[in-house]
Structure 1
Amino acid sequence: MALDESFTGRVYPPSSTFEVSREKIREFADAIGDPSPLYRDVAAARAAGYPDVIAPPTFAVIISMKANDVIISDPDLGLDYCRVVHGDQSFVHHRPIRAGDRLVAVAHVDSVMSRAGNDFLSVRAELGTENGEPVTTARATLVARGTADAAKGASQ
């Protein structure tokens, strides 16, 4: 079944708060194999001008994926997640994510369209502090394979 294109422009309520800890940052840096002391050593981070350790740029995927779950699991959208592949991911950082941040995310559906028999779902998560300071804009494109063809075949 094709995705509901009327979801374009939909905005969901803010997520629950995600508390960024030094340990979560270190674990993520270890997982991606990045040895930077900015992700582990408070003194090194402060010497570089940060108030605490900072997170690798792609750390935002943890928070944005959780935020986008509200879109993916919305039964009215009609997304069959077993047919989904990740098409694209990008981040715009307004400032680094750092230990001690308490972040919330607002999920947006930027577009829903069909091309070449597939449905493309472009989503965005605006990450910010509980006080409203913008931190990161995370964008992703999900591709639901063969769903547009299935809907076309069903209507013929």
Structure 2
Amino acid sequence: MGSVFTGTPPFEVSRRDVIAFADAVGATSPVHRDIAEARAGGFSDLLAPVTFPVVIAQEAEAEYIADPASGVDFSRVVHAEESFSHRRAVVAGETLTTAVHVDAITARGGLTLVTTRTEITDEAGDGVATVVSTLAVRGADA
């Protein structure tokens, strides 16, 4: 607990990523697929759906999960909770970096709950979004 992981390479948000995620979550607004529509809406490029930061956060959380010191066996993980705090929209064409903070580890009846907070920043170092995720890791006997 209290560890911070910053080794994940920067995430380059592509138009393809935005469109694929919009398709996956059923986001039908043309600002996710049509550059002219996105620009008419005041965005520099395609607008990512509001839950898109989960893609970036999960990629970054993989660094923590892969660390043997985490003790997390991903085959025993169930996603328990996710929340988002946005400072601004995510658009295609930008490069974002992450810092994953391990905020809490709590053992309860055969489960270990691991709460991470992923801070996503842009190239200027300004905050873009925060993703808080809780993973439930089943014990060997669960």
* Unaligned 5+ runs, structure 1: 1-7, 151-156
Number of the residue aligned with 2:24: 31
Distance 1:78 1:46 in 2: 45
Q: SS of 2:45's equivalent?
A: coil
CA RMSD of aligned residues (A): 1.6
Checking the alignment, whether the CA contact within 8 Å between 1:14 and 1:104 is kept in structure 2 is no
1:76-133 deviation line (CA, Å, top 9, x unaligned): 1211222110000111111010011101111110100111221110011111112201
| Greater helix fraction, Structure 1 or Structure 2 | 1
- 1:76 pairs with one of 69, 91, 104: 69
Q: SS of 1:76's equivalent?
A: helix
TM-score (norm 2): 0.92
2:30 maps to 1:51: no
- 1:132 pairs with one of 108, 125, 135: 125
| Greater strand fraction, Structure 1 or Structure 2 | 2
* Unaligned 5+ runs, structure 2: none
- 1:66 pairs with one of 59, 74, 78: 59
Structural mapping, 1:1-156, within 5 Å: 8-146=1-139
Counterpart residue type for residue 80 of structure 2: G
Report the alpha carbon displacement of residue 14 of structure 1 after superposing the two structures with TM: 4.5
Q: Could you say which structure has the larger radius of gyration?
A: 1
Q: How many residues align?
A: 142
Question: Identity over the aligned pairs, expressed in percent?
Answer: 44
Checking the alignment, whether the CA contact within 8 Å between 2:112 and 2:137 is kept in structure 1 is yes
The ranges of structure 1 where at least 4 consecutive aligned residues each deviate by more than 4 angstroms after the TM superposition are none
Distance 1:21 1:79 in 2: 30
